[in-house]
Chain A
Amino acid sequence: MSEVLLEVTNLKKHYPVRAGVLRRQVGTVHSVDGVSFSVHAGETLGLVGESGCGKSTVARSVLRLVEPTSGQIHLEGEDITHLSKAALRPHRRSMQIVFQDPFASLNPRMTAGDIVGEPLAVHGLASGKALDARVATLFEQVGLRADQMHNFPHQFSGGQRQRICIARALALEPRLIVCDEPVSALDVSIQAQVINLLIDLQRQHGFSYLFIAHDLAVVAHISHRVAVMYLGRIVEIAGKDELFRNPRHPYTQALLASVPIANPLAKKLAPLVDGDVPSPVNPPSGCAFHTRCRFAMERCKTERPALLEAGDGHQVACLLNEGTGRSQLAPTT
């Protein structure tokens, strides 16, 4: 395997819940509760989970856009967890982010060209004619025309706006691009264009993606490895093919079984889980999934399962079968 680019160790992010006139802390949101993973150079790690599982908080913590409560983040071997703003700046060049909503993440009063060129100007890498030329190249790389540089964000369609965001992320030639639900606001036919673009750019430049999405099919398509999160914890990580062929955590199995398949001859739609995701303010004790798990045992209520190796680079946090999860496939596949 290639070098480790990003290493996240036991990352936690807790938010206080305050109430009353005195704003006393009445609880804690365990948004991210002890997450460890690594991203290798040139690799895409997919991070999936349902709303509130903490996947976006992981993304923002990695970039230090939110300050982690505890844990370490190593980028290219250096601990960036506690670096000051100034000390962090050179590292920011190595990591960029593409957000979900291309409407909210572009300044409506700047031209598309200025938006894409801004990181270059901020880091003092180019100016004047050289800057324009570089921006024009970036536009072409993401499938926009160089003459569109002078247009404002509202003159672009949703898919084109996401291309602008991608061009901006590419400007500093980062080694890691964090994509937080980059295609979920787009129509199906446009979504395919953007996914293809992301894959093509990775092949050309060899950077890594931390790709966050709730859509399993999209994650499966773009990722080399996939991590599944539930209530602030990673419950399973494996290579893409391994994870989808042989999901071991009951939650992953339920998640896979819930995806409606675009094939009317494979009708199923049998939800493997009941009820809703519990609140991260008071997450269930032990394994956070035990309240919805069909295989929950007495132990699951008290013991928190660690993420353990189950063979073939497949890690799972489940007490079943001595920590290897449920070995057989969900009955629906």
Chain B
Amino acid sequence: MTDKSHLLEVKNLKTVFFTNSGLFKAVDDLSFTVKRGETLAIVGESGCGKSVTALSLMRLVPDPPGRIVGGSISLEGTDLLALDEAEMRAVRGNRISMIFQEPMTSLNPVMRIGDQIVEAVRLHRNIPAKEARNIAVEMLRLVRIPEPARRAKEYPHQLSGGMRQRAMIAMALACRPVLLIADEPTTALDVTIQAQILALILDLQKELGTGLVLITHDLGVVAQTAQRVIVMYAGRKVEEASVEALFAAPKHPYTRGLMASIPAVPASGVPAQARLNEIPGTVPSLVRLPKGCAFAPRCKLAIKRCEAEYPPLADWGGGHLAACWRAAEVAEVA
């Protein structure tokens, strides 16, 4: 039975891509849950599978070449993978919405902002155009776009990057979804605008009680927004913990390496270092993953066993999961 407090429950999700150079597992055996009103951050570097996870939740993985080949995605008890395309369309944009990284490519350039929101609303709710238009203007006001009624009549190119992202958020939230997926929502924005947009997303989430899956590569963004964090590497979850536990004592050498490799702003409380801690090597190709732990070739702590066997996700107390044979020693050695 699905736990009622869980809004989203993903179990053993497996998404693969069939390419000319072979089959690769973009997401491999991923399980996680999101509670109502909770923010879960998924963090990792390019190619770790975080964006494919987002697309899988929306069932937007391009097929071919990609396909969800296993697992289940349960939203408020409904298995999304069991729905047919028409049923899924009724969920998408209605109960689950998504904000993408680049608002310019995800908004229709030849349609007015207001009309795009009206379209999204009327797709899911049988209401007159006029009422939908009022909702659109109201949503633009909610995301703090000045003069919403005038802005609703403008085209995407007339808005700045920050305003476009606000319009995207307005559209995503217009049907009051229970789950919002944000895939690198602020990566394309300047830092002062990023702070505004993140604050806005969190405010609205609190106000509307939406569950949020925030996908990012930026550990600073994770620390400032999330309650729980999943770290992904080469398609797998390597660590999961509350944000406090993760930053206080990361259990996986990869997480530890990531944290040590980000330069700190002086006077931020994080001490500056002369040399950054680097993780040697690069992310492995997903087509030729090693048999054991995918991080082993770059890991200072790797032992024979790491190359031979993939480490299971073990609970290190208080729901702090890590997939590493040497997790117990990470704090002392690394």
| B276-302 to A contact mask, C-beta < 8 Å, 1/0 | 111110110000000000000000000
Q: How far is the CA of A189 from the CA of B231 in the complex (A)?
A: 14
Contact partner of A217 (CB less than 8 A), chosen from B161, B194, B258, B264, is B264
Contact partner of A262 (CB less than 8 A), chosen from B161, B199, B259, B282, is B259
Beyond the given A220-B265, A259-B265, please list 7 additional residue pairs across the A-B interface where CB-CB is below 8 A: A189-B279, A192-B277, A218-B263, A222-B263, A256-B267, A260-B220, A274-B196
Residues of B within 8 A of A189 (CB): 45, 257-258, 261, 278-279
B272 at the interface (CB under 8 A from A): yes
A276 at the interface (CB under 8 A from B): yes
* 12 A–B pairs (Cβ distance < 8 Å), ordered by A: A189-B45, A189-B258, A193-B279, A217-B264, A220-B263, A220-B272, A256-B265, A258-B191, A261-B269, A261-B270, A271-B199, A274-B196
B262 at the interface (CB under 8 A from A): yes
Q: How far is the CA of A157 from the CA of B199 in the complex (A)?
A: 35
Residue of A nearest to B247 (CB): A264
Is the CB–CB distance between B275 and A269 below 8 Å? Answer: no
A255 at the interface (CB under 8 A from B): yes
Residues of B within 8 A of A51 (CB): 161, 190
| A294-333 to B contact mask, C-beta < 8 Å, 1/0 | 0000000000000000000000000000000000000001
Given contacts A188-B45, A262-B220, A264-B243, contact A244 B262 (CB under 8 A): no
Residue of A nearest to B222 (CB): A262
Residues of A within 8 A of B265 (CB): 216-217, 220, 244, 256, 259, 261
B67 at the interface (CB under 8 A from A): no
Is the CB–CB distance between A276 and B276 below 8 Å? Answer: no
A204 at the interface (CB under 8 A from B): no
Q: Which 7 residue pairs spanning A and B have beta carbons closest together? A: A260-B220, A192-B261, A221-B263, A50-B190, A258-B195, A189-B279, A192-B276
| B220-233 to A contact mask, C-beta < 8 Å, 1/0 | 11111100000000
Is the CB–CB distance between A258 and B192 below 8 Å? Answer: yes
| B246-269 to A contact mask, C-beta < 8 Å, 1/0 | 010000000001110111111111
Is the CB–CB distance between A258 and B45 below 8 Å? Answer: no
Residue of B nearest to A159 (CB): B282
How many residue-residue contacts, CB under 8 A, span A and B?
Answer: 151
Q: How far is the CA of A267 from the CA of B222 in the complex (A)?
A: 11
B106 at the interface (CB under 8 A from A): no
Residues of B within 8 A of A222 (CB): 263
Chain B nearest CB from A243 CB (Å) reads 9
Is the CB–CB distance between B223 and A255 below 8 Å? Answer: no
B85 at the interface (CB under 8 A from A): no
Q: How far is the CA of A222 from the CA of B275 in the complex (A)?
A: 9
**Interface footprint category on A:** 35 or more
Is the CB–CB distance between A260 and B195 below 8 Å? Answer: yes
Q: How far is the CA of A244 from the CA of B222 in the complex (A)?
A: 23
B244 at the interface (CB under 8 A from A): yes
| B189-203 to A contact mask, C-beta < 8 Å, 1/0 | 011111110110010
Residues of B within 8 A of A264 (CB): 223-224, 243-244, 247
Contact partner of B190 (CB less than 8 A), chosen from A157, A191, A270, A277, is A277
**Interface footprint category on B:** 35 or more
Residues of B within 8 A of A147 (CB): none
Q: How far is the CA of A273 from the CA of B196 in the complex (A)?
A: 8
Chain A nearest CB from B274 CB (Å) reads 8
Is the CB–CB distance between B263 and A214 below 8 Å? Answer: no
Give the secondary structure class of A's interface: helix
Is the CB–CB distance between B275 and A199 below 8 Å? Answer: yes
A245 at the interface (CB under 8 A from B): yes
Q: How far is the CA of A301 from the CA of B291 in the complex (A)?
A: 65
Chain A nearest CB from B248 CB (Å) reads 8
Residue of A nearest to B220 (CB): A260
Contact partner of A258 (CB less than 8 A), chosen from B194, B225, B244, is B194
A1 at the interface (CB under 8 A from B): no
Given contacts A260-B194, A261-B223, contact A266 B268 (CB under 8 A): yes
Given contacts A221-B272, A245-B267, A262-B223, contact A188 B262 (CB under 8 A): yes
B185 at the interface (CB under 8 A from A): no
* Chain A residues at the B interface, C-beta cutoff of 8 Å: 50-51, 157, 159-160, 187-193, 195-196, 199, 214, 216-218, 220-222, 240-241, 244-245, 254-274, 276-277, 333
Q: How far is the CA of A277 from the CA of B194 in the complex (A)?
A: 13
Chain A nearest CB from B189 CB (Å) reads 9
Residue of A nearest to B266 (CB): A244
Residues of B within 8 A of A216 (CB): 191, 265
Among A188, A196, A214, residue most surrounded by chain B Cβ atoms (within 10 Å): A188
Is the CB–CB distance between A195 and B270 below 8 Å? Answer: no
Chain A nearest CB from B185 CB (Å) reads 13
B79 at the interface (CB under 8 A from A): no
B120 at the interface (CB under 8 A from A): no
Chain A nearest CB from B332 CB (Å) reads 22
Contact partner of B244 (CB less than 8 A), chosen from A192, A217, A257, A265, is A265
Q: How far is the CA of A50 from the CA of B160 in the complex (A)?
A: 13
B142 at the interface (CB under 8 A from A): no
Is the CB–CB distance between A333 and B224 below 8 Å? Answer: no
Given contacts A51-B190, A266-B269, contact A196 B247 (CB under 8 A): no
B163 at the interface (CB under 8 A from A): yes
Residues of B within 8 A of A269 (CB): 195, 198-199, 202, 224-225
Given contacts A264-B244, A264-B247, A276-B163, contact A192 B220 (CB under 8 A): no
B91 at the interface (CB under 8 A from A): no
Residues of B within 8 A of A193 (CB): 278-280
Is the CB–CB distance between A268 and B224 below 8 Å? Answer: yes
Residue of A nearest to B194 (CB): A258
Is the CB–CB distance between A187 and B46 below 8 Å? Answer: yes
B103 at the interface (CB under 8 A from A): no
B217 at the interface (CB under 8 A from A): yes
Is the CB–CB distance between B269 and A263 below 8 Å? Answer: yes
Q: How far is the CA of A115 from the CA of B161 in the complex (A)?
A: 36
Residue of B nearest to A48 (CB): B191
Residue of B nearest to A245 (CB): B267
